[in-house]
């Protein structure tokens, strides 16, 4: 029997879309291969937990502290490690986030479990897990040898495993079992600043990015208006954040944030290879640029050749009418 | 204070990745290699700290083959005091992390810096694994680092925003911009780097149970549909077919 733990993320007590997809995928493994038992965990404080009715689990274990800092030492994970051991958990799935990466690495070292990230696909055969993962910032794919032993697998945001969920309108509330997490860290938080706004770039399903083609930081109004209309997060290219036109946390690319939204609209971004490395996981890419030679055009699904100062407001208007 | 900067050696960010059909792995022979860009930020910050603080020693460590030595020398030219190469061809993050842990256990460091991830296999796990293996404090991604009151003050990115944290040493940090500006080696640096110490040790464990058996180029075929700027409604219609707008 394989005991598979799925770590779920919540936002205001609601399962995030990434976690919902991952749970659907894990549940499909349970349904398709005999001998896998599903367990749910979360490292977030939640007051209730509602999951699709099709998932055959009746409780979730909450190891609840919402702060990154509290997991900065091995000792802070003691109770969780013991719980995983007592439950004979051999396989752990989570969705990529800063916190889940941090916990995944520590659990792997403490429990001596193999570790894999950026997963592209997973097949299970005779108790062996066959993973493939995305490498070279999405430019290539690596196939791993099948492993029978324990492992920790961190799936990228937006991972569905090509599983089309059954009707998930029927949901159920499950019991929350608390395990206490001691703050074993001697570190002290001096200052915290939370990202403002509802839509965080790394989580966003739609992103509007803009580059030097905007010419001046004063011109970002049209980008923000389009983003606001289609409930998108805003992003920018590296030159723009280097020039301090936009905050650093909006920088998408090889050395910035990597995003994989369902839709990415790039306005006035030429598409340097470093920027492409940050966005090539996007579902659909729209490029708005007045330069027909811009490298980004070869990597776009839809291309609008034109002046973004007229195209973007026009597009906003059309979306607004919908 | 002893600072260890661990570096990855990775294909240049502009590299075109190719593969010979008959091979199982990507073609590495045509690629230009560089020190990982995030590791470069970490090294630059370590050197800034050394230049502005008394009694700071900076060592550079790389787990890899001899071909990486010119790039390790470049790190010495930037201002690191000495370098360590752990010779071998590691197959996984865990393997590299274990080698770093072995070295640190025998050689005591106060602060271990590296990039938040290597841009070849993108796992971003080694700093976390090393911190756990050594039982050190751990933060990543770190955007600011200062030495304060025998410890460090770091600004980190979290899933919710940013936090500034005071933390004791020893610690392991995964770094990202804007922690420092990249540096270019000076002529004097390049000259002195030639005589700096580059120690080579063998990997303690060459075995990995979990490794890549096949690599392929990821071809994402984009639709490449040109929308006339006069007919933006076509774009809106096309997008609405694929995407749920709320």
β partners of residue B171:
B111, B137
**Cβ–Cβ below 8 Å for A286 and B235:** yes
Listed range (A10-14, A107-111, B51-55) with the worst mean pLDDT: A10-14
Q: Is the pTM of this model over 0.80?
A: yes
Report chain A residues whose CB lies below 8 A from the CB of B131: 105-106
SS3 call for B114: strand
Chain A's closest residue to B159, CA to CA, is A98
A99 in contact with B, Cβ within 8 Å: yes
B219: confidence class by pLDDT, cuts 50, 70, 90? confident
Rounded CA-CA distance A136/B153 in Å is: 32
Q: How far is CA A89 from CA A56, A113, A193, B86, B114, in A?
A: 17, 11, 36, 34, 31
**Cβ–Cβ below 8 Å for B246 and A231:** yes
pLDDT tens-digit series, residues B79-104:
999 999 999 999 999 999 999 999 99
Chain B's closest residue to A247, CA to CA, is B178
Angstroms from B19 CA to nearest CA on chain A: 10
pLDDT tens-digit series, residues A219-234:
999 999 999 999 999 9
pLDDT of residue B218: 84
Conformational region of residue B55, where left means phi above 0, alpha means psi within -120 to 50, and beta covers everything else = left
B24 in contact with A, Cβ within 8 Å: no
pLDDT of residue B161: 82
B125 in contact with A, Cβ within 8 Å: yes
**Cβ–Cβ below 8 Å for B166 and A190:** yes
Query: Using alpha carbons only, what angle is made at residue B67 by residues B62 and B72, rounded to the nearest 5 degrees?
Result: 40
3-state SS track over chain A: CEEEEEECCEECCEECHHHHHHHHHHHHHHHHCCCEEEEEEECCCCCCEEEECCCCCCEEEEECCCCHHHHCCCHHHHHHHHHHHHCCCCEEEEECCHHHHHHHHHHHHHHCCEEECCEEEEEEECCEEEEEEEEHHHCEEEEECCECCCEEEEECCCCCCCCCCCCCCCEEEEEEEEECCCCCCCCEEEEEEECCCCCCHHHCCEEEEECHHHCCHHHHHHHHHHHHHCCCEEEECHHHHHCCCCCHHHEECCCCECCCCCEEEEECCCCCHHHHHHHCCCCEEEEEECCCCCHHHHHCCEEEECCHHHHHHHHHHHHHHC
Q: Find which of B235, B244, B246 to mutate to test the A interface (most A CBs within 10 Å of its CB).
A: B235
Walk me through the domains of chain A, giving residue ranges and CATH numbers: 2-179 (3.40.50.620), 201-321 (3.40.50.1220)
B176 in contact with A, Cβ within 8 Å: yes
Question: What part of A 119-178 touches B (C-beta under 8 Å)?
Answer: 134-145, 147, 149, 151
**Cβ–Cβ below 8 Å for B236 and A138:** no
Domain ranges (residues) in chain B? 2-218
Q: How far is CA B192 from CA B4, B45, B196, B197, in A?
A: 20, 20, 7, 10
DSSP class of B168: P
Domain B2-218: what homologous superfamily?
HUPs (3.40.50.620)
B246: confidence class by pLDDT, cuts 50, 70, 90? low
Q: Find which of B168, B218, B243 to mutate to test the A interface (most A CBs within 10 Å of its CB).
A: B218
């Amino acid at each position: 029997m394989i005991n598979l733990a799925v770590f779920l993320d919540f936002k205001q007590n609601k399962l995030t879309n990434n976690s919902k997809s991952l749970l659907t995928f894990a549940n499909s493994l349970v349904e398709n291969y005999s001998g896998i038992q599903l367990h749910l965990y979360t490292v977030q404080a939640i007051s209730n937990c509602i999951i699709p009715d099709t998932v055959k689990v009746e409780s979730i274990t909450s190891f609840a502290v919402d702060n990154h800092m509290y997991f900065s030492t091995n000792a802070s994970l003691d109770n969780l490690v013991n719980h995983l051991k007592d439950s004979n958990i051999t396989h752990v799935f989570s969705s990529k986030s800063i916190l889940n990466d941090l916990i995944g690495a520590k659990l792997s070292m403490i429990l001596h479990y193999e570790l894999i990230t950026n997963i592209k696909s997973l097949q299970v055969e005779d108790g062996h897990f066959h993973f493939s993962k995305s490498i070279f910032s999405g430019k290539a794919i690596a196939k791993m040898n099948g492993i029978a032993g324990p492992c920790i697998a961190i799936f990228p945001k937006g991972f569905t495993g090509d599983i089309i969920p059954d009707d998930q309108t029927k949901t159920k509330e499950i019991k929350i079992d608390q395990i206490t997490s001691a703050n074993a860290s001697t570190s002290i938080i001096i200052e915290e600043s939370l990202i403002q706004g509802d839509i965080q770039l790394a989580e966003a399903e739609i992103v509007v990015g803009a580059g030097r083609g905007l010419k001046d930081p004063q011109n970002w109004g049209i980008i923000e208006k389009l983003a606001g209309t289609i409930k998108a997060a805003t992003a920018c290219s590296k030159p723009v954040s280097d020039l301090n036109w936009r905050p650093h946390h909006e920088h998408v690319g090889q050395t910035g944030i990597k995003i994989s939204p369902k839709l990415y609209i790039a306005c006035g971004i030429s598409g340097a290879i470093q920027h492409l490395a940050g966005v090539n996981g996007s579902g659909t890419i729209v490029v708005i640029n007045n330069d027909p030679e811009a490298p980004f055009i070869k990597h776009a699904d839809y291309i609008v050749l034109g002046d973004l100062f007229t195209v973007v407001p026009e597009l906003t208007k059309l979306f607004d009418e919908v | 204070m002893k600072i260890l900067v661990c570096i990855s050696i990775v294909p240049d960010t502009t590299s075109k990745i190719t593969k010979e059909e008959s091979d199982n792995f990507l073609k590495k022979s045509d690629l230009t290699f560089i020190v990982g860009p995030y590791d470069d930020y970490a090294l630059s910050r370590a050197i800034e700290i050394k230049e502005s603080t008394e009694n700071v020693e900076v060592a550079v460590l790389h787990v890899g083959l001899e071909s990486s030595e010119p790039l390790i020398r470049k790190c010495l030219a930037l201002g690191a005091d000495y370098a360590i190469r752990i010779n071998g061809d590691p197959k996984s993050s865990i393997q590299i992390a274990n080698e770093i842990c072995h070295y640190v256990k025998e050689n005591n460091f106060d602060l271990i810096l590296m990039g938040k991830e290597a841009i070849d296999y993108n796992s971003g796990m080694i700093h976390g694994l090393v911190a756990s293996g050594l039982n050190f404090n751990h933060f990543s991604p770190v955007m600011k680092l200062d030495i304060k009151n025998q410890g460090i003050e770091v600004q980190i990115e979290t899933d919710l925003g940013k936090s500034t944290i005071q933390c004791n040493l020893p610690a392991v940090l995964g770094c990202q911009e804007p922690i420092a500006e990249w540096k270019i080696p000076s002529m004097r640096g390049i000259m002195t780097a030639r005589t700096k110490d580059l120690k080579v040790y063998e990997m303690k464990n060459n075995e990995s149970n979990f490794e890549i058996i096949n690599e392929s180029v990821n071809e994402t075929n984009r639709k490449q549909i040109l929308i006339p700027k006069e007919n933006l409604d076509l774009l809106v219609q096309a997008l609405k077919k694929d995407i749920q707008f709320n």
